[in-house]
Amino acid sequence: MTTVDDRPAAPPAGAPRRRVNPVLALLRNSWRQLTSMRTALILLFLLAIAAVPGSVLPQRGVNPEKVNQYFVDHPDLAPRLDQLGMFEVFGSVWFSAIYLLLFTSLVGCILPRARDHVRALRMRPPAAPKRLERLPQHAVLEAPAAADPEAIAAVLRRRRWRVTVRGNEVSAEKGYLKETGNLLFHVSLVAVLLGVALGSWYGWHGNRILVSGADNAFCNTRQQYAEASLGPRVDSADLPSFCLTLDRFEADYLPSGQASRYWATVTVDHLDDGSTRTAGFSVNSPLRLGAANVYLLGNGYAPILRYTDRYGRTQTSTAPFLRTGDQNATEEGVALFPDANVDPKTGKRAPDQQVAFDGLYLPTAPDKAPFVSSQFPEERNPAVVLAAYRGNLGLDAGIPGSVYQLDKRQLSNGKLKQIGDKKLGLGEKWTLDDGSTLEFVGTQPYITISVRHAPGQTMMLVACVTLLLGLMGSLFGRRRRVWFRVTPPEGGSPTSGSSLVEAGGLPRTEHPGFAPEFAQLVAAVSDDGRDGRRAREGDE
Amino acid sequence: MSALSDQLVTFAILAYLVAMISHAVEYALGNARKVPAAAPARELVGAGVGGPGGTVEEPATPVPPAATRASRSAARAALAGRIAAWITALAAALHLGAVVTRGIAAERMPWGNMYEFVLTVTWIGAAAWLAVLWKQPSLRRLGLFLTLVMVLLLAFAELKLYVQVVPLMPALQSYWFIIHVSTIIFASGIFLLGVVPAVAYLMRAGWEQGKRSFPYTLARRLPAAAGLERLTFTLHAFAFPIFTFAVIAGAIWAEAAWGRAWGWDPKETWAFISWVVYAGYLHARATPSVKRNVATWIAVVGFLTMLMNLFGVNFFFTGLHSYAGV
Ligand code: HEM
């Protein structure tokens, strides 16, 4: 490549000097600094460095639990890092400042370059320098076949040079694609950023667990998501209205326990037009509903636990247990029965008689103790290993608790007590000390889904394609110029019937292949006829 | 099949090792020409060795014995170099065999985990090196560094990363997997090859500026700095758009598999960092006020970020990509 023509920095000398407003001068100088290649380079580097903490430290947007864990592990350091935005690097003020400056610099850089480029495209290739022999490439053609300027121009045009003829001189230039591509590339970068901005303003997404069965259907409202985030320009009322029911979930496993296929079948009810359809989706092939896409992120089982309290009243919990992360799908979770042991006479909740169970669910329990982890991810010998608790579950305290964990404070302050533990196979029943029973009835599969609307994506995709095209044009395009000067035969010379042609070539960007290209060109001009015929034959 | 693949890897490492030794012999013999009396002949021989094909013309006129000795050792050096190049080609063939048999054993593209990834990336690097060598035989002495990199990376893969053949998990079963991973591998292989002339250039440029301390002395017998710099640029300019495409393909795949095109997962973050650093390299090289050795350092840093992404991220962080399996 590459020599960059720096833009003319100063106005032509000699113009009468006016007093310059110092503020304006400062502004103009800062702008010039900001839009220089050097600044762009420094900002690029800063951007790369600024991204590093985003991979080293846990990020809220990627993994909020890990951020909380970090606060627990580093109680002193974490709040200070948090103040610096280290857990949300890619949304932090300093990261934004760097890329906004970079893109300002970029726009300030490409606008004048685009203008210059359009101008250059309109201009004719420049006149030949006086002394062609000083150029990097030079040749003298004796008695060439194409001996007059128009014939030479024709040869060049056939090879797709931009040509202009001035008297007995031919100027030609090629490789505008380089600058065109470069501008396209940089403009595309801006377009990608705009696509990102569009997505974050007008996009939304939510995550939740969907347990199979019609009772567990979910409708697309903000309250129904465990976790949702709406762009600043999106209102809860804007969410498209549809409901999803998980009809079936299939998972195939290899003998090693590795999953080989997942498939979720759902019923989609569109509430706007009342239409209903069933659809299937999987990892790598999301359910595209038009207004939003539904992605399959995970799956598991929700044990069905039936508790019969001391008054003989029965309640059933189908709470999803979450994967612990081991290979064989051991899950842990909790089943809460806050309405247990309500005295039928008074009908009042007894806050110290609530019941809960927590522990593990094993899709394939081992035959012998210890029952701590599953042997296979598929349900072959399902079992739950549970501890029972009675007392106050702390659900009314107004402190939001997790639905996947017991409130540990209630245990430590003694309001909730453990009253035993047991392993239950499918259909087995456990009688507790007060005569109440817990039965492990079965399981329901569940899936974890992400529902998402990302409006900037088409724009980003298009911008990525033009970015690549521009990049290739920019990297592989080569600007070069050639000139031919025809000297007519000297009037009286008896021997020379033909003209003398001199040629010069100048690669404007580093281009090792230019010498051979120039030689070929000269050869083509030398025997215009044959070359022309060959070219025409090639066209047919 | 899988066992055959493992054996082929071992043989390939051995072959690269032999090639490296042969290159080292070329180097050592080249350095033996310190005989003062041989000065004029040395120039002649040096020119012959550096030329395309690396042939040495025996001087026809009688020359002082020291000079003959020098030229004979130069001829031997050239022979050692040519042998090294052929052994490298043999090693690359064995290496290719290892990649292919691994793929056959797994009944899929052999890019399912880090071991297979490194195996394929290094093969791309070696194959691209042979292509460069074919076009520019005068760069042959770089082979010493290249084979060294090959032996180190392959041995590391064999000792630390090796895993049994297993099928892919559902998230990896997508044609985007093939597109994304193959282009990442290809670009990484070229970047891997590109760092060899980059480092060689930095040493050689120092040598040409008269630096005679340790790392620069290694560059004594290297090809001229300008050519190394141009090769560095050519390789990076070739790899960069492919890498860009690969990252875009990854984003398209991530959209389908994880529901978002870009989520700043550690792998994605480091790909972003590498991309920005390599863009910085191309930029720096196009900026007249930035010196070439500064630009080349940026390319080296770019390669370090690629290594960080390949090894560091897999070992130190967990993210969505971590199922790629250490
Ligand atoms: C968003 C940040 C930017 C990125 C990722 C980026 C990336 C690149 C890349 C990869 C190239 C190499 C293409 C080639 O060499 O032909 C390039 C070239 C170039 N960039 Fe940028 N750039 C950025 C911002 C800027 C800015 C702010 C300026 C102006 C100050 C600028 C001016 C140029 C110029 C003049 C070239 C052409 C060099 C040549 O002639 O080859 N770029 N850019």
B 82-101 → A contacts, CB under 8 A: none
Q: Is B259 left (phi over 0), alpha (psi -120 to 50) or beta?
A: left
Residue nearest to atom 24 of ligand 1 (CA): A106
Nearest-by-Cβ selection for B245 from A55, A468, A475: A468
> What mean pLDDT is reported for chain A?
85
What tokens were used for B130?
């042979």
B254: CA distance to ligand 1 center in Å? 27
Give chain A's radius of gyration (CA, Å): 38
Q: What is the mean pLDDT of residues B87-93?
A: 92
Per-residue confidence (pLDDT) for residue A92, from 0 to 100 = 87
Q: What is the least distance, in Å, from the CA of A181 to any CA of chain B? A: 13
Asked if A284 lies within 8 A of B284 by C-beta distance, the reply is no
Q: What is the least distance, in Å, from the CA of A392 to any CA of chain B? A: 38
Q: Taking CB atoms and an 8 Å cutoff, what residues of chain B touch A510?
A: 230
Q: Taking CB atoms and an 8 Å cutoff, what residues of chain A touch B253?
A: 284
Task: Return the ligand 1 atom nearest residue B286 CA.
Answer: 38
Which pLDDT band holds residue B221 (cuts at 50, 70, 90)? confident
Q: State whether residue A193 sits within 8 Å of chain B by CB.
A: no
Share of chain B above pLDDT 90, in %: 35
Contact B301, B269 (CB under 8 A): no
Which pLDDT band holds residue B44 (cuts at 50, 70, 90)? very low
Q: State whether residue A325 sits within 8 Å of chain B by CB.
A: no
Low-confidence stretches of chain A (pLDDT < 70) are: 1-18, 396-402, 490-498, 528-540
Number of CB atoms found within 10 A of residue B258's CB: 19
Q: State whether residue B294 sits within 8 Å of chain A by CB.
A: no
Pocket of ligand 1 (CB under 6 A): A 1-2, 4, 35-37, 40, 44, 102, 105-106, 109, 182, 186, 189, 474-475; B 279, 282-283, 286
B283: CA distance to ligand 1 center in Å? 5
Nearest-by-Cβ selection for A41 from B264, B265, B280: B280
Is the previous residue joined to A370 through a cis bond, with omega within 30 degrees of 0? yes
Bridge partners (DSSP) listed for residue A323: A331
Per-residue confidence (pLDDT) for residue B326, from 0 to 100 = 38
Among A116-125, B59-68, B81-90, which is the least confidently predicted range? B59-68
Q: Mind listing the pLDDT tens digit for each residue in B150-163?
A: 999 999 888 878 87
Can you give the pTM of this predicted structure? 0.82
CA distances from A293 to A78, A242, A377, B105 (A): 36, 12, 28, 37
Length of chain A: 540
What tokens were used for B192?
């891997």
Q: Mind listing the pLDDT tens digit for each residue in A350-395?
A: 778 889 999 999 999 998 888 888 989 989 999 999 999 998 887 7
Per-residue confidence (pLDDT) for residue A8, from 0 to 100 = 42
Asked if B277 lies within 8 A of A471 by C-beta distance, the reply is no
Q: State whether residue A452 sits within 8 Å of chain B by CB.
A: yes
Q: State whether residue B326 sits within 8 Å of chain A by CB.
A: no
Residue A11 one-letter amino acid: P
Q: What is the DSSP letter of A91?
A: G
Q: Please tell me the distance from the alpha carbon of residue A26 to that of residue A323, in angstroms, as a whole number.
A: 61
Q: State whether residue A59 sits within 8 Å of chain B by CB.
A: yes
Q: State whether residue A62 sits within 8 Å of chain B by CB.
A: yes
What tokens were used for A405?
């964990």
B287: CA distance to ligand 1 center in Å? 9
Query: What is the arrangement of strands in the sheet containing A242-253, beginning at the earlier edge strand?
Result: A218-219, A242-253, A259-270, A276-281
Asked if B273 lies within 8 A of A51 by C-beta distance, the reply is yes
Bridge partners (DSSP) listed for residue A137: A505
Give Cβ neighbours of residue A61 (< 8 Å, ≥ 6 apart). A88, A90, A91, B263, B264
Per-residue confidence (pLDDT) for residue B57, from 0 to 100 = 40
Can you give A406-428 as a three-state secondary structure string? CCHHHHHCCCEEEEEEEEEECCC
Q: Which of A424, A439, A409 is nearest to A337 (CA)?
A: A439
Per-residue confidence (pLDDT) for residue B47, from 0 to 100 = 36
Contact B133, B19 (CB under 8 A): no
CA distances from A97 to A44, A47, A50, A461, B194 (A): 12, 10, 11, 25, 33
Contact A304, A317 (CB under 8 A): yes
